[in-house]
Amino acid sequence: MTNSELHQTYLNVGGVNLYCEYLLNDKPPIFLIHGFASSTYTFRRIIPFLKKHYSVIAVDLPGFGKSEKSTSFIYSFQNYAKLMLDCMGIFGLSNSHIVAHSMGGQIALNMALLAPEKMNKLVLLCSSGYLKRARKSLVLTSYLPYFEKFVYYYIQRKDVKHHLSNVFFDQSLIDDEMMEEFGKPLLEKGFYKALTRLLRHREGDLLPTQLRDIHVPTLLIWGEEDRVVPLEIGKRLVSDLPDAQLITYEKTGHLITEERPDLVLKNIMMHAI
């Protein structure tokens, strides 16, 4: 392994086995957090360039990717945030750039609220925001026998290509490799157990009053054709966060690192200065 290659390993953090890809060098650290039903694969097009300028750490969140589908972890955003902060501590990171996509953005915002002194700057890519907690009736229903099978059939009723088509503006970018990679977790029984627990444990997104307490410099990057987290969410976030700016890309959907990797890299680098 050369000094420029990513290491791949498992770390036990807070009793959960996390899959991690990292490269530590003498450059500033950047910590990558993926979104819902995704993995470090989200950043595959930007990591090769980021590692030329940063120490890079990317982690699969509990319940997703190659990380443990724990049935004891509490799948709340605050717990995710604490776990990611603990992970940063293992790598000795104290002043890191955070790049987070979709649901990962909500985790990053929770991290900034809990430990702003450990954050340098945030880059939120099509970040989730303003979602309320699941209805109490649905949470209660999740405790019924066979609910996980219901989740399984609900997701499986449409194929991987259909799910991916929802996150792309340019459908021609969806290829066999991508469908295979995003389809892997859908084959694991543990994935559906984790989703059920996420449904139960996920608190509502941070309120505007909480967002206004986050003073970490934040760059919001959005695809104007995002059908998963509409641009209106970005406009609300840039209004509520005290030190934030919003950049949008035309003809771009939700999976912005696949559709506009060059622009994302350019904006990360400019924001990091």
Give 2: exposed, middle or buried? Use CB within 10 Å, 0-12, 13-18, 19+: exposed
For residue 59, which of 111, 17, 21, 5 has the smallest C-alpha distance?
Answer: 21
Question: Is 102 marked active-site?
Answer: yes
Out of 34, 97, 201, 254, pick the active-site residue: 254
Q: Other C-beta atoms within 10 Å of 194: how many?
A: 24
Instruction: Show the beta-strand stretches assigned E in 24-93.
Output: 29-33, 55-59
Question: Is 254 marked active-site?
Answer: yes
Out of 38, 39, 76, 102, pick the active-site residue: 102
Instruction: Show the beta-strand stretches assigned E in the chain.
Output: 7-13, 16-23, 29-33, 55-59, 96-101, 119-125, 218-223, 244-249
- Is residue 112 within 8 A of residue 214, CB to CB? The reply is yes
- Which residues contact residue 107 at a Cβ distance below 8 angstroms, ignoring those fewer than 6 apart? 33, 61, 77, 80, 81, 84, 100
Tokens of 100: 């987070």
- Which residues contact residue 207 at a Cβ distance below 8 angstroms, ignoring those fewer than 6 apart? none
Cite the active site residues: 102, 254
